A and B are shown apart, each in its own frame.
Chain A
Amino acid sequence: MQTLLKILARYSNFLVFIVLEVVAFLLISLNSAYPRSSMLSTANRLVAWQYEIIDEIGDYLHLKRVNADLAAENAVLRSMVEKDAAFRAEYQSAKVVQLTTDKPHNYITINRGEEDGVYQGMGVRNEEGVVGIVRTVGSHYSVVQPVINTASQLSCRIAKNDYISTLVWNGRDYRYAQLHDVATHIQVEPGDTIVTSGLSPAFPEDIPVGIVENCMLGKGDSYYTIRVRLNTDFRRLKYVETICNNDRAELEDLNNGLE
């Protein structure tokens, strides 16, 4: 017993080091699992609050552009009311409080939370196109995982031939994302429009995603590597809209029934 205690005392520094590192790596792996704590993220009220202050200062410098964007957004909203009459979705505008575009795992903090009806898995778009999916919900703020996050996957459709594919991001350029699973017999060419497929409960059909920039085919490949220029300009993101799917409870019930 005494020798054991001696050994423990001798290596206590290293033991504490191991324990702390194990905790850190547990947190990292927790962070990649779906539901996560809103305490230690920018969904936390205190953390988001200081980002909002920076943003307020920036707002005065960007008023002109924001005004123009808002006017454009109003127009889009009006048309949306009519177009989406069949899809029971409700849009709510939210302000971007904090965002990154230059990391492999980018996140966007918005100033809407649980009390505004935001839920995990909710789709988020702006007037240009898709933005991402709500990942963490705090009471007044939430964190959105945008398309430009290497962990994101978005079900898309090539508008002209209805081919369904998955959009991913390689972590490099915030303006471009990639389609990897389009078979070579599918006709795709630069300029084709990519829209949401409507297969996920987060997004209704036909929200613009991007335009095909180029299609590459390596030797012996049976799938194209397609570079898609994203419609949404993430670097300039100021306002977004959350998409509340009013049918989601029913959809969940149906899916649960299948299991």
Chain B
Amino acid sequence: MDWSKQIGRYIVVMALQVLLFNQLQLAGVCHPYVYILCLLMLPPTLPPIAEMVIGAAAGLLMDAFCNSLGIHMAACVLIMLLRPYLIGRMVNDKDRLTEEISIHALGFEAMLRYTVIMVVVHHLAVFLMASWNWSHIGFALIETVVSSLLTILIILGYNLVKYK
């Protein structure tokens, strides 16, 4: 497993997240959190505890940029808990997988399902915690749908370009 590649990609994606995606203000409902691409695509060889700690660290850094201390951390830890189970359900022989999770490793359909579940769970958690008010729940759901769509498209697009 190539760690320098994973870290290099994280730095690039995080820079794009902060410089580009955080600046989007499309009618107030579109906040794609593309930085979780790096968490989604981590190789499946790590122990689950390490995955959750990595998720917590990535979420905490994102929180620093969003003034939302704890919210991204909670959401990232949640999806990192789900990750091994999801991957286990998507492929029959999980131990065979050593490369990073991608369209190449899972195939298009499984990768699509995996990405949709992870992104929607993460975005829903973030927007619900950020609104923290039942009267805004409808708005948080709209935000989740719009932002998740964009994030999913970007993550799959990146995969298609990289592994075409």
Contact = CB atoms under 8 A, between A and B. Distances in A.
Given A13-B81, A47-B65, A25 B132 contact: no
Contacts of A100: 25
A62 interface: no
Contacts, number: 98
A258 interface: no
A102 B48 contact: no
Interface of B is mostly: helix
Nearest to A108: B67
Interface string B121-159: 000000001111100100100000000000000000000
Contacts of B53: 16, 20
Nearest to A145: B67
B51 to A, nearest CB: 9
B70 interface: yes
Given A40-B69, A42-B65, A102-B28, A24 B77 contact: yes
A44 B77 contact: no
B60 interface: yes
Contacts of B131: 104, 171
Interface stretch (A28-36, A218-226, A246-254): A28-36
Given A24-B77, A40-B64, A47-B64, A103 B70 contact: no
Interface in A7-56: 12-14, 16-17, 20-21, 23-31, 36-37, 39-42, 44, 47, 50, 54
8 contacts: A16-B49, A17-B52, A24-B71, A40-B63, A101-B28, A105-B130, A171-B136, A171-B139
Interface of B: 18-19, 23, 25, 27-29, 31, 48-49, 52-53, 56, 59-60, 63-65, 67-71, 73-74, 77-78, 81, 129-133, 136, 139
Interface of A: 12-14, 16-17, 20-21, 23-31, 36-37, 39-42, 44, 47, 50, 54, 100-105, 107, 143, 150, 171-172, 174, 235
